Chains A and B, each alone.
Chain A
Amino acid sequence: MGETTAGVVFIAAMIAALAASHGPLGDHIHRVLTRERHYKAERGLYRAMGVRPGEEQHWAGYARSVLAFSALSVLALYLLQRAQGSLPLSNGFTGVEPGLAWNTAVSFTANTNWQAYSGESTMGVLVQTAGLSVQNFASAAVGIAVAAALMRGFARKTTDALGNFWADLTRITLWVLLPIAFVGAVVLVAGGAVQNLTAFTGATTAAGDAQTLPGGLVASQEAIKNLGTNGGGPFNANAAHPFENPSGWTNFILVYLILVVPFSMPRVFGRMVGDRRQGRAVAAAMAVIALVSTGLVLGFESFANGTVPQAVAAAMEGKEVRFGVADSGVFAAATTLTSTGSVNSFHDSYTSFGGGVLMLNMMLGEVASGGVGAGLYGLLVLAVVTVFIAGLMVGRTPEYLGKKIGGREIKLAGLYFLVTPALVLIGLAASLAVPANLESMQDAGPHGLSELLYAFTSASNNNGSAFAGFGADTPWFNTALGLCMLFGRFLPIILVLALAGSLARQRPVPATAGTFPTHRPLFVGMVVGVTVVLVALTFLPVLALGPLADGLQ
């Protein structure tokens, strides 16, 4: 079997694994989000937090809780990094510089995990586990909680109540993320991922040199960083590092962990709104985009277009032998289609078109299947835009799941869509206007622009992967990319919660013969079309200057 064929089988096996698990997991998440009774363990935690879980919040209250929790998370993470030098378990590292500490604190709280630092030489065990890993859980739970609020907005009628943020946060962490992460982490240890409290082990190599082997609580962080679509790993090389991702089969496990929750969320949605066909339609739209994109990355990387890949006769630069070109490409597609951003190979060295597709994946708003929670609410916003456009075609007020999409709803959806392109393009343009910033680009010409474009796309869409030749640890980029991550995460969240509030207040209108059915292939096709067209119109000019110019030289 050739390498590309093996890659295709890898994709087929992944689809089978996700298809088998999305039902049970989706039903489980649905129960977790809707269960009336609070378990004893939960009640203990609620008491410790000082919250009343039965008290449902209206959209603004829910949003305030999200923002309060996230703001404090940023602050706490910042202080923890700054104080690292005087805390135990620091591996001897000093406190992190202010600019970098701010960037990293925002990055992990915003589910981005952009890393302007090298993990093994900056962050000790304490910051990695009690700081960064906590946000890997918390930011993921926040994403699912916001999605839950939007689903309740569709499912409920004439109410202001969208659920209780603290209860959602607790339950998602306890019953969804923790169990899967634990099992995943133990499986990764079985594959060779390290999990110990030894900072460093000295070795004398076979050739007689000294080698310093790092340790740490790696497997536990690895599992949640992928499961929670975070991406920030303990080592600079991320999931290319053999201690994070030791073999071909752990690589399969990691891709599965990245995709399993996002692809189960449509099932939750279907259960929430009481019509599983609606969930299947959403999943189908995600799957179509994901499959086409993954196929393109696999194709471009296997074809190895470009001067260096042709000289090498394979796009092997920045890739590991144990994964090969094909499985590296699949991982890269999965990590950019979701908001994960962990990497098992280095995207900067991908073929121009392969790297361009990775950028496009993020520009699509990471909706196929997207970050945990964030992918679902992103796609539902696009579905709202789609029914609006369909409504314009036939000249009647659009509705989705019985809820009228009026002026307020479409304004919120439109603003949601505009946030990230505005951040990417304005951030890119402003950075290019400052001559000193050009030094951060490692490659000359169009590829240098690609590096910068990738950075702003990744930060604004909360992905976190990079064209890593780009020198991001400068005051300008730490600040600018930090702001992009912050606004790129929380402005959409506020808009989604406002949309949820406005939907929940409505009394549903009964479906008539004129209602556009939103569970048919026609609708799936239209959602995919709207997504691609909107993104293409927004980003094609800048893509032409970067990856397209690079690849067509």
Chain B
Amino acid sequence: MTRLPRWVPQHFAAVRALLVLTAVTGVLYPLAVLAAAQLPGLNDKAEGSLLHDGDGAVVGSSLIGQSFTDDEGAALPGYFQSRPSIAAGDGGDYDPTASGASNFGPENVVDALPDPGLGWEGDEDAAKSLLTQVCERSYEIGEREGVDGSRPYCAESGDGAVGAVLGVFRSGGVTGEATRAVSLNEACGSVEAPFLAEYEGVPVECAEYGEDYAKAVVTPVEGDAGEPEVPADAVTASGSGLDPHISPAYAGLQVDRVAAERGAGAREVAALVEEHTTGRFLGFMGEPAVNVLELNLALDEAYPLS
């Protein structure tokens, strides 16, 4: 019988070492943590910080955000609204089985316009840029809360808003005089006139579906909007898509609407917001945040919707 080559026994050691480590770190360790998590005080948290209604049914987790919208996705006016969410599954957004972010970059500003025959819903290749999404959200929230929804680099357009972005053709390619300017996010037919009439002396055209504007220099137009009134967290999606919080500023913006809808005093509702606001831990860790689900449940308790 020939002897085994010397490297073979090493693999036996490797197999056995892997099995031993699996037993220790893959079985004993997580079970030990699981056992420790059964201690009173830790138990509820280990189970997911679940919230129950009066009948004991689970209404959610205090750590996982929810959307407060109707079946069409329109905001329910009696509730504080959460941030926009990218975690969209079969059950709408804020789906914990599909956590995640938009992952759009900071210069994602040009929409892929839809085939006019199909529209935004029907055309799978159509996509709104991050900038346009931000502008639309800001405009919509402004309408809902009765404040100015304008922002830099956003333009009112049609019955909403778009990213104010021109494609500028120049005599020398990327430099030189402007020869033609196109409002890239405004499709001909969907708007009466582009957000800007003229740019560097050339008239601004609407964007024609299917035309190639790749040679144009993408030029966002800042406009004259000042400091936005709609807070940053209200117009951006979170990293998890499950953010349970909004900023105190965004909560403050919603107080009047919710109070009116529930026939409650704005001061009382503001006090409830305060109650569900957590500050920075030790004064410097994290940011002040309002837990939307807990706040809305408290509202349902104190000022039920008729």
Interface residues of A, Cβ cutoff 8 Å to B: 1, 3, 6, 9-10, 13, 45, 48-51, 64-65, 68-69, 71-73, 76, 118, 120-121, 129-131, 133-134, 136-138, 166, 169-170, 173-174, 177-178, 181-182, 185-186, 189-198, 200-207, 209-215, 217, 219-221, 223-224, 235-237, 240-243, 246-249, 251-252, 305-324, 327-328, 343-346, 348-352, 355, 442-447, 450-451, 467-470, 550, 553
CA A138 to CA B14, docked complex, whole Å: 12
CA A444 to CA B99, docked complex, whole Å: 24
| Residue pair A345, B29 in contact (C-beta under 8 Å) | no
CA A322 to CA B291, docked complex, whole Å: 10
A197 touching B34 in the complex, CB below 8 Å, given contacts A49-B13, A313-B228:
yes
CA A69 to CA B92, docked complex, whole Å: 45
| Residue pair A550, B66 in contact (C-beta under 8 Å) | no
Question: What 4 new A-B contacts, CB under 8 Å, besides A196-B34, A214-B96?
Answer: A68-B14, A177-B25, A318-B103, A319-B238
- Interface code B38-55, partner A: CB below 8 Å = 1, 0 otherwise? 000110011111100000
| Residue pair A130, B102 in contact (C-beta under 8 Å) | no
Q: What are 14 A-B residue pairs whose CB atoms fall within 8 Å in the complex?
A: A50-B12, A64-B7, A118-B100, A130-B22, A133-B26, A134-B21, A182-B29, A182-B32, A190-B42, A195-B30, A209-B91, A242-B240, A308-B134, A346-B101
| Residue pair A6, B103 in contact (C-beta under 8 Å) | no
| Residue pair B94, A324 in contact (C-beta under 8 Å) | no
Taking a contact as CB atoms closer than 8 A, the residue among B18, B46, B284 that contacts A9 in the complex is B284
| Residue pair B239, A550 in contact (C-beta under 8 Å) | no
A308 touching B130 in the complex, CB below 8 Å, given contacts A1-B284, A315-B106, A317-B104:
yes
Stretch of B114-122, B190-198, B242-250 that contacts chain A: B242-250
* Min distance, Cβ A4 to any Cβ of chain B, angstroms: 11
Q: Does B215 contact A (CB under 8 A)?
A: no
* Min distance, Cβ B20 to any Cβ of chain A, angstroms: 5
A192 touching B239 in the complex, CB below 8 Å, given contacts A48-B16, A204-B57, A468-B101:
no
CA A249 to CA B281, docked complex, whole Å: 6
What residues on B are CB-neighbors of A316 within 8 Å? Answer: 232-233, 236
| Residue pair B107, A346 in contact (C-beta under 8 Å) | no
CA A224 to CA B21, docked complex, whole Å: 14
| Residue pair B26, A312 in contact (C-beta under 8 Å) | no
CA A54 to CA B273, docked complex, whole Å: 64
Stretch of B147-155, B201-209, B254-262 that contacts chain A: B147-155
Taking a contact as CB atoms closer than 8 A, the residue among A6, A320, A470 that contacts B240 in the complex is A320
Q: Does B302 contact A (CB under 8 A)?
A: no
| Residue pair B103, A349 in contact (C-beta under 8 Å) | yes
Please give me the residue from chain B that is nearest to A444 by CB atom: B110
Q: Does B1 contact A (CB under 8 A)?
A: no
| Residue pair B108, A447 in contact (C-beta under 8 Å) | yes
A203 touching B42 in the complex, CB below 8 Å, given contacts A311-B153, A445-B107:
no
What residues on A are CB-neighbors of B16 within 8 Å? Answer: 48-50
| Residue pair B101, A213 in contact (C-beta under 8 Å) | no
What residues on A are CB-neighbors of B11 within 8 Å? Answer: 68, 72
| Residue pair A348, B99 in contact (C-beta under 8 Å) | no
Please give me the residue from chain A that is nearest to B285 by CB atom: A248
Taking a contact as CB atoms closer than 8 A, the residue among B98, B102, B135 that contacts A236 in the complex is B98
3 closest A-B pairs (Cβ-Cβ)?
A: A248-B286, A324-B287, A240-B239
CA A351 to CA B21, docked complex, whole Å: 42
Give residues of chain B (79-115) contacting chain A, Cβ–Cβ below 8 Å.
79, 83, 87, 91-92, 94-110
**Total contacting residues, chain B, CB less than 8 A:** 112
* Min distance, Cβ B148 to any Cβ of chain A, angstroms: 13
Taking a contact as CB atoms closer than 8 A, the residue among A6, A64, A68, A246 that contacts B280 in the complex is A6
Please give me the residue from chain B that is nearest to A137 by CB atom: B25
A237 touching B101 in the complex, CB below 8 Å, given contacts A133-B26, A344-B239:
yes
What residues on B are CB-neighbors of A169 within 8 Å? Answer: 17, 21
A311 touching B131 in the complex, CB below 8 Å, given contacts A204-B59, A351-B106:
yes
| Residue pair A201, B287 in contact (C-beta under 8 Å) | no
What residues on B are CB-neighbors of A6 within 8 Å? Answer: 280, 283-285, 287
Q: Does B67 contact A (CB under 8 A)?
A: yes
| Residue pair B33, A211 in contact (C-beta under 8 Å) | no
| Residue pair B92, A209 in contact (C-beta under 8 Å) | yes
| Residue pair B287, A327 in contact (C-beta under 8 Å) | yes
Q: Does B4 contact A (CB under 8 A)?
A: no
What residues on A are CB-neighbors of B97 within 8 Å? Answer: 120-121, 200, 212, 214
A186 touching B238 in the complex, CB below 8 Å, given contacts A50-B12, A69-B17:
no
| Residue pair A192, B18 in contact (C-beta under 8 Å) | no
A190 touching B45 in the complex, CB below 8 Å, given contacts A178-B25, A469-B104:
yes
| Residue pair B48, A194 in contact (C-beta under 8 Å) | yes
| Residue pair B281, A248 in contact (C-beta under 8 Å) | yes
| Residue pair B21, A201 in contact (C-beta under 8 Å) | no
A442 touching B27 in the complex, CB below 8 Å, given contacts A195-B33, A212-B95, A214-B96:
no
What residues on A are CB-neighbors of B49 within 8 Å? Answer: 192, 246
Please give me the residue from chain A that is nearest to B10 by CB atom: A68
Q: Does B269 contact A (CB under 8 A)?
A: no
* Min distance, Cβ A45 to any Cβ of chain B, angstroms: 6
What residues on B are CB-neighbors of A193 within 8 Å? Answer: 45-46
| Residue pair B99, A442 in contact (C-beta under 8 Å) | no
What residues on B are CB-neighbors of A73 within 8 Å? Answer: 18
Q: Does B178 contact A (CB under 8 A)?
A: no
Taking a contact as CB atoms closer than 8 A, the residue among A13, A137, A217, A251 that contacts B21 in the complex is A137
| Residue pair B236, A317 in contact (C-beta under 8 Å) | yes
